[in-house]
Amino acid sequence: MATPSTSTADSSAPDSIASDPDDIAGGSHAEAVRVHPTDLDNRRITHVSPLMSPALLRDEHPVQAPVADTVRAGRDATVDILSGRDDRLLVLVGPCSVHDPGAALDYARRLAAHAETLRDDLHVVMRVYFEKPRTTLGWKGLINDPDLDGSFAVNKGLRMARQLLLDVSALGLPVGCEFLDPITPQYISDIVTWGSIGARTAASQVHRQLCSALSMPVGIKNSTEGDVQVAVDATRAAAAGHVFPGITTDGLSALFTTAGNPDCHVILRGGSSGPNHDPDTVADTLARLRKAELPERVVVDASHGNSGKDHVRQAGLVRELAGRIAAGEPGITGLMIESFLAEGRQDLTLGRSADLDYGRSITDACLDWDTTAELLDRLAAGVRARRG
Ligand SMILES: O=C[C@H](O)[C@H](O)COP(=O)(O)O
Ligand SMILES: C=C(OP(=O)(O)O)C(=O)O
């Protein structure tokens, strides 16, 4: 006879029965133990396919010394700017999304050369965004669908993403990525100098925990409605340590205990309530940060809700901010600009990527290269004037 379970749980539950070998061998519950109902889960999963492990991808695409130097120096400079030890301006600039790695690398070469000429005044980090959070539906980025045709070749997308991060960093140009999927960072985060949490995930505990583990500074956006407090709260949560489940680089589930990330900061991106780049909102955000006992610093996003996704307005805003920086407005440590080779945007028809214009965004509208170079010059002049 089986010894009665000391558990307070229902003794007819399968796991309390399975803990007694006698019961399993000959007891009346033996049939219940062998039951593996197939109709209770996976009911809406239509296909499961293999995903390579992060360790395999890292082994295939290793970080060489010059890339490691770029990442280390890029992170250190970003932290120094955020803390005020470095008086340059952090500039996060590049395409809204990468859909053509060749065009992204072409852009990166121009940006790397121009950034080098402005290095005394600007710390330029290229936006190399592979994961797009959609308001409803749409192409979700190069990792999810690298062939732009709905074939979702994710292993290929991960390879292309990691290779591009290596190629851009090898130019001496540090890269910034948005982290959307909580598993993806294990595949690429060692090459990322600056990370972002987007407006649609700033309130997510999963993403705040993720930030607490990440090795680089992370900018966290206000919500799409324009709520800044959610980004302040996220910055505070990410600065603390957490314990949460994740996957190791070998692809195994594990519990992670984190130390917290002191280098997170708020990004003002505007929202459905209107833009929020004005001096009053910047000052109000600094006051919220002070109240939360967080460093008083913000990055202003010139695109998204601050420009109504209009690249022409984005250029006007960058010019205005260059003037405000020159005048010594406190707290603005960085700027985000969406920019690509060609201006504006174009619609993608899945499976028709051959029809796309070269170097033009397929997500949000971007400034073209020439305008970008002119705006970077203006920002550098603003920083010099602020020093003077
Ligand atoms: O930055 C990119 C987009 O603003 C974001 O991914 C949302 O895009 P959507 O509203 O077109 O889906
Ligand atoms: C998706 C982005 O921004 P947001 O989260 O502000 O919409 C982005 O910067 O690409």
Q: How far apart are CA 322 and CA 385, in angstroms?
A: 10
Domains of the chain: 58-387 (3.20.20.70)
Q: In this structure, what is the dihedral angle of CA atoms 26, 29, 31, 32, given to the nearest 10 degrees?
A: -150
Q: Which atom of ligand 1 is nearest to the CA of 136?
A: 12
Q: How far apart are CA 266 and CA 211, in angstroms?
A: 13
Interval 196-238: pLDDT, tens? 999 999 999 999 999 999 999 999 999 999 999 999 999 999 9
Interval 310-320: pLDDT, tens? 999 999 999 99
Q: Which atom of ligand 1 is nearest to the CA of 304?
A: 4
Which pTM was predicted? 0.92
Residues with C-beta less than 6 Å from any ligand 1 atom: 96, 132-135, 138, 304, 363-364
Nearest to 194 by CA among 142, 129, 251, 125: 125
Residue nearest to atom 10 of ligand 1 (CA): 135
Q: Following DSSP, what letter does each residue of 237-264 receive, concatenated? A: HHHS--EEEEE-TTS-EEEEE----TTE
Average pLDDT value for residue range 40-46: 93
Average pLDDT value for residue range 25-37: 64
What percent of the chain clears pLDDT 70, i.e. is strictly above it?
A: 92
For ligand 2, say whether the CB of 96 is within 6 Å of any of its atoms.
Answer: yes
Averaged pLDDT of the chain: 93
What percent of the chain clears pLDDT 90, i.e. is strictly above it?
A: 90
Q: In this structure, what is the dihedral angle of CA atoms 195, 201, 205, 208, given to the nearest 10 degrees?
A: 20
Q: Give the ipTM.
A: 0.97
Q: How far apart are CA 187 and CA 183, in angstroms?
A: 8
Residue nearest to atom 3 of ligand 2 (CA): 198
Q: How far apart are CA 13 and CA 29, in angstroms?
A: 10
Please tell me the distance between residue 200's alpha carbon and the centre of ligand 2 in angstroms.
Answer: 8
Interval 47-100: pLDDT, tens? 999 999 999 999 999 999 999 999 999 999 999 999 999 999 999 999 999 999
Among all bound ligands, the one having the nearest atom to the CA of 93 is 2
Average pLDDT value for residue range 345-365: 98
Nearest to 82 by CA among 264, 323, 300: 264
Structural contact between residues 301 and 362, judged by C-beta atoms closer than 8 angstroms:
no
Nearest to 218 by CA among 241, 246, 189, 243: 189
Please tell me the distance between residue 132's alpha carbon and the centre of ligand 2 in angstroms.
Answer: 8
Half-sphere exposure in the Cβ direction for 369 (13 Å, CA): 17
Q: How far apart are CA 331 and CA 231, in angstroms?
A: 16
Residue nearest to atom 2 of ligand 2 (CA): 198
**DSSP code at position 191:** G
Average pLDDT value for residue range 23-46: 73
Supply the pLDDT for residue 303: 98
Structural contact between residues 200 and 211, judged by C-beta atoms closer than 8 angstroms:
no
